[in-house]
Amino acid sequence: MSVTIFENASVIDVVAGEIMADRHVAVEGAMIKEVSESAISASDARRIDLKGKTLMPGLIDSHVHVTAFSANFTELQRSSPFYVAAAAARIMGGMLDRGFTTVRDVGGADFGLARAVEEGLIRAPRLIYGGKAMSPTGGHGDTRPAGLDRHDDAYNQPGLGAIVDGVPEVRRRAREEVRRGAHHLKIMGNGGISSPTDRISSDQFSEEEIAAVVEEAEMADLYVVVHAYTPRSIKRSVRLGVRSVEHGNLADREAIDLMKERGAFLVPTLATYRALKDEGVEAGLPAELAAKIDDVLDAGINAVELAYRAGVPMAYGTDLLGVMHRRQASEFALRSDVVPAADLVRAATINGARLMRLEDEIGQVKAGMRADLIVVEGNPLEDIRRLAEPEKNLRLVMARGVVQASQF
């Protein structure tokens, strides 16, 4: 097995939020074999002298849509799955180049794309997926304009959502996603921006339907992810057992306290609202939907602050679409007014790993973990822009023990 040794590294201990100076890290095959205070001997190892640069776990983005090559979901749904796969390969390659070595897709990606990643057919981060996001008729996963009746619910149409109504349909769909290897089940619990006929204020799915998805997920040893903005939508989902709350922009104290009590995670995605506001329509968002952005844009940072103060665990998420994917690192800067750098680093490493229940595999630089590592110029614990501006500061990306991009 090939051995790579990083010498003279400033390793980030994400748990302590500190730098461990002058460390030597050996990677064997796809795993971290050793983290040592002294030089590591090995006869035919590749040695990379980091000269004090920062070595840290590869970043984890817990809210992506790797197939979303456009912000126009109706167009996405009409596209050839072959075209969408090719576009997704390019999008995922870009994520790797920004230092993201694991991404959690919450609508669109499937077992085929994950297999292509695992087999090395495409350059990509590890892909955690949940298949299509379940939505009720007229909900955030229903891309039909009001004048259209028919919805193509074939599994191979490349849209992000599936329309299901009533407990039996919800259960069947959940079981189909479990059958296809889903790592989590995603539901639309609230209105959204890119859906043509719903309102941000609308609750989606009845309590019976949500409870049924939660039960199906728990039976399969999985958990449920919900798209939700309003306190009402967040509270009903969390009360019914949903573990991962996406966006959460309009959350109030009561909703945040309930999340804390129930051990739910918040995955804010400030990056996408900023991006949609700046360039969403150019990127394909139908112009008539742009007004919905203002309902959630400014509130997002308040929710992040409430969650931080209450100690609700937050993971790093972005939710970007189409050409806006290039802004993936901007979430660090957007949260930095209310969250300290060490906690932003945790959001994109150990918290994401815990959310996905992969904390024994990824999220730390430790012997026995997967060799998903990045090298950064400067110290992100002192200046989070080191991560927010990867084009300036990222020096190396290693995924599964293989160097994917390097300036050494």
Mention every residue, 6+ apart, whose C-beta is less than 8 A from residue 43: none
Provide the minimum distance between the beta carbon of 306 and Zn ion in the complex, in angstroms, as a whole number: 19
Provide the minimum distance between the beta carbon of 359 and Zn ion in the complex, in angstroms, as a whole number: 23
Provide the minimum distance between the beta carbon of 29 and Zn ion in the complex, in angstroms, as a whole number: 34
CB nearer Zn ion, residue 109 or residue 398 = 109
Contact 362, 102 (CB under 8 A): yes
CB nearer Zn ion, residue 104 or residue 227 = 227
Contact 154, 78 (CB under 8 A): no
Provide the minimum distance between the beta carbon of 194 and Zn ion in the complex, in angstroms, as a whole number: 8
Piece in contact with Zn ion (CB under 5 A), picked from 286-294, 315-323, 332-340, 371-379:
315-323
Provide the minimum distance between the beta carbon of 94 and Zn ion in the complex, in angstroms, as a whole number: 17
Q: Three-state SS string across the chain, please?
A: CCEEEEEEEEEEECCCCEEEEEEEEEEECCEEEEEECCCCCCCCCEEEECCCCEEEECEEEEEECCCCCCCCHHHHHHCCHHHHHHHHHHHHHHHHHCCEEEEEECCCCCHHHHHHHHCCCCCCCEEECCCCEEECCCCCCCCCCCCCCCCCCCCCCCCCEEECCHHHHHHHHHHHHHHCCCCCEEEECECCCCCCCCCCCCECCCHHHHHHHHHHHHHCCCCEEEEECCHHHHHHHHHCCCCEEEECCCCCHHHHHHHHHHCCEEECCHHHHHHHHHHCCCCCCCHHHHHHHHHCCCCHHHHHHHHHHHCCCECCCCCCCHHHHHHCCHHHHHHCCCCCHHHHHHHHHHHHHHHCCCCCCCCCCCCCCECCEEEECCCCCCCCHHHHCHHHHEEEEEECCEEEEECC
Piece in contact with Zn ion (CB under 5 A), picked from 109-117, 165-173, 316-324, 380-388:
316-324
CB nearer Zn ion, residue 319 or residue 331 = 319
């931080």: which residue's tokens? 308
CB nearer Zn ion, residue 32 or residue 275 = 275
319 interacts with Zn ion by CB under 5 A: yes
Piece in contact with Zn ion (CB under 5 A), picked from 66-74, 209-217, 222-230, 374-382:
222-230
CB nearer Zn ion, residue 123 or residue 227 = 227
Q: Per-residue x/- marks for Zn ion, 265-304, CB under 5 A?
A: ----------------------------------------
Piece in contact with Zn ion (CB under 5 A), picked from 150-158, 171-179, 214-222, 312-320:
312-320
Provide the minimum distance between the beta carbon of 71 and Zn ion in the complex, in angstroms, as a whole number: 11
Piece in contact with Zn ion (CB under 5 A), picked from 35-43, 177-185, 210-218, 313-321:
313-321
Counting residues that bind Zn ion (by CB under 5 A) gives 2
Provide the minimum distance between the beta carbon of 229 and Zn ion in the complex, in angstroms, as a whole number: 9
Provide the minimum distance between the beta carbon of 65 and Zn ion in the complex, in angstroms, as a whole number: 6
Provide the minimum distance between the beta carbon of 313 and Zn ion in the complex, in angstroms, as a whole number: 19
CB nearer Zn ion, residue 319 or residue 372 = 319
Piece in contact with Zn ion (CB under 5 A), picked from 25-33, 314-322, 374-382, 392-400:
314-322
CB nearer Zn ion, residue 190 or residue 393 = 190
CB nearer Zn ion, residue 244 or residue 393 = 244
CB nearer Zn ion, residue 227 or residue 395 = 227
Integer CA distances (angstroms), 131 to 156, 177, 355, in order: 11, 6, 18
Residues near Zn ion (CB under 5 A) are 227, 319
